Structure 1
Amino acid sequence: MSNSHNPSDTRPIIPALSTLWTALEPLSWLILRVTTGILLMPHGAGKLFGLFGGYGLEGTGGYFDSIGFHPGYLFALLVGTLEFFGGALLVLGLLTRPVAAAVVVFMTVAFFIHLPNGYAWINAGVEMPIMWGMLALAVLIRGGGRFSLDHKLGYEF
Structure 2
Amino acid sequence: MSSRLNGAQPYALGLFRFAIGLIFAIHGASSLFGVFGGREAEAGAWPGWYAALIQLVCGSLVALGLGTRIAAFLASGSMAYAYFVVHQPEALTPVGNGGETSAVFCWAFLLLVFTGPGALALDRLFGSRAERVPAEESRREPATAGVSA
Q: TM-score, normalised by structure 2?
A: 0.71
Matches within 5 A, 1:76-115: 76-112=48-84, 113-115=86-88
Quick check: which has more Rg, 1 or 2?
2
Residue 147 of structure 1 is matched in structure 2 by 120
2:40 pairs with one of 56, 62, 66: 56
Aligned residue for 1:145, secondary structure, equals coil
TM-score, L = length of structure 1: 0.68
> Structure 2 CA distance, aligned partners of 1:74 and 1:35?
27
Q: Distance in 2 between matches of 1:26 and 1:150?
A: 13
Measure the CA separation in 1 of the matches of 2:46 and 2:74. 16
Aligned residues: 126
- SS of residue matched to 1:31: helix
Pair 1:26–1:101, CA change in 2 (3 A): closer
Q: Secondary structure at the match of 2:82?
A: helix
Q: Which has the higher contact order (CA 8 A, sep 6+)?
A: 2
Residue number in structure 2 paired with 1:32: 16
CA RMSD of aligned residues (A): 2.4
> For structure 2, which runs of at least 5 residues remain unmatched after alignment?
131-149
Who is 1:44 aligned against? 28
Percent sequence identity over aligned pairs: 29
**1:37 and 1:87 in contact (8 A); partners too:** yes
Partners in 1 of 2:57 and 2:49 — Cα distance?
Answer: 11
2:64–2:121 CA contact under 8 A, matched in 1: yes
Match of 1:3 in 2: none
The residue matched to 1:73 in structure 2 has which SS? coil
Distance verdict in 2 for CA 1:52–1:144, change over 3 Å = same
Kept after mapping to 2: 8 A contact 1:116/1:125:
no
Give 5+ residue unaligned stretches, structure 1.
1-11, 13-17, 62-71
Contact 1:117 1:126 in 2 (8 A): no
